Amino acid sequence: MNIGMNPIMLNNNINPIVMIGNNNQQLEDKGEKIQLTLKSADEEFKIIFFDGDFPSDLVKKYNLKARLTFNYKSLIGGWSLKKNGIKNFSVIEVKNCKIITFQNARGDNHNLAFSEDFPIGLAIVYFIITYENPILLLTLLWYE
C-alpha cells in the first residue's frame, strides 16, 4: 500500500482528461438537442432540451402546474420527448387535460388523456385506430 501517493499517478496509462470526459457520457445519452416552444395561455418562450429528456424534466425545470400536451394529446411521463413524437421546433402546450375512458367489446378499459379543447369525435377516431380495428372507421363513413 502506497500511503501519500496521488492515486492518478499509480497508473501511468490513465489519462486524467479522458477520465473527466467519461463523466460527461450522460449528456451524450440524452440524444440530440432540440429547440422547443413552451406555450401556455399567458406566455410563450423558446427552450433548448434534449430529445432523450422526459416531460417530467420540463415540469421540474419550469415548475409547471398543468399537463404538457402536443397536438392535443397529453405527453406520457414515462416516455422520452422523442418517443412522445416531439421533434425540433415542436410546440408543447401547457393545458388542463381531460381523461376519457373507452371500453371495448371485450370489456377492456383504456384511459386516454387529451387537452380540454380536443374534439370528442377525434378522440373516438384515435381510440379506434389505436386500440380497435381501423376498418371500423369505414363503417362510420358509409353509415346512412
pLDDT of residue 106: 87
Q: Is residue 14 scored above 80 in pLDDT?
A: no
Confirm whether 48 is domain-assigned.
Answer: yes
Same domain, 116 and 87: no
Give the integer Cα–Cα distance in Å for 88 and 4: 52
What confidence score (pLDDT) does residue 66 get? 87
Predicted local confidence at residue 144, as pLDDT:
56
pLDDT of residue 41: 86
Domain count, the chain: 2
pLDDT tens, residue by residue, 47-95 = 999 999 999 999 999 888 889 999 989 999 899 999 999 999 999 999 9
Contact status, residue 101 vs residue 109, Cβ threshold 8 Å:
yes
Q: What are phi and psi of 49, to 5 degrees?
A: -140, 180
Question: Could you please report the per-residue DSSP string of 41-106?
Answer: SS-EEEEEEETTS-HHHHHHHHT--SEEEETTEEPPTTS-TTTTT--TT-EEEEE-EEEEEEE-TT
pLDDT at residue 1 greater than cutoff 60: no
Task: Assess contact for 37 and 89: CB atoms under 8 A.
Answer: yes
Give the DSSP H or E segment for 115: strand 109-115
Are 108 and 91 in a shared domain?
no
Least confident of 24-33, 98-107, 129-138: 24-33
| pLDDT value, residue 46 | 96
Q: For the domain that residue 85 is a member of, what is the CATH number? A: 3.10.20.90
Mean pLDDT of the chain: 80
Q: What is the pLDDT of residue 143?
A: 58
Say yes or no: 54 and 104 in one domain: no
Boundaries of domain holding 138: 99-144
Residue among 35, 101, 50, 90 at smallest CA distance from 68: 90
In a domain, 131, yes or no: yes
